[in-house]
Amino acid sequence: MSNFFSQASSLRRVPKQARSKQRVNDLLDAAAEVFLEVGYSEATTHMIAENANTAVGSLYQFFADKQAMFQALELRHIERGQNLRTKILALGKARLSLEEFIDQMVDRCVEFFELPASRAIFVQYFTNPSLLQH
């Protein structure tokens, strides 16, 4: 996910070390879960920090507010979607039967939407599309 970190202008501080990148990813995963559980409008940074088992100050090191978190979540989702597209295109070159191709394509799409972040972005696309920036 190296491209995500270089593109995420919503980050206050761009993590350089693997541990900091993992912290940002953990915060975004926690945000996605909270957005799914209570909705974007009801979610708070305190709820997100609690879900990530971290102090809210740790969250604010990287993000100004929940909108910045959502924007970063959106960028990460787009990058993951591009990776999914690449994997599906690679399946087309694997000389699979049509049935095998469809099975593997569906499996990869299911994996993609099993991620809370993917579902959170998808829900907001239909319930609050003005929130999406990209």
For range 92-101, the mean pLDDT: 88
pTM confidence score: 0.82
pLDDT digits (tens, 9 = 90+) for 8-31: 566 777 777 888 889 999 999 999
SS3 at position 11: strand
Quick one: which of 86, 85, 73 has its CA closest to 115?
73
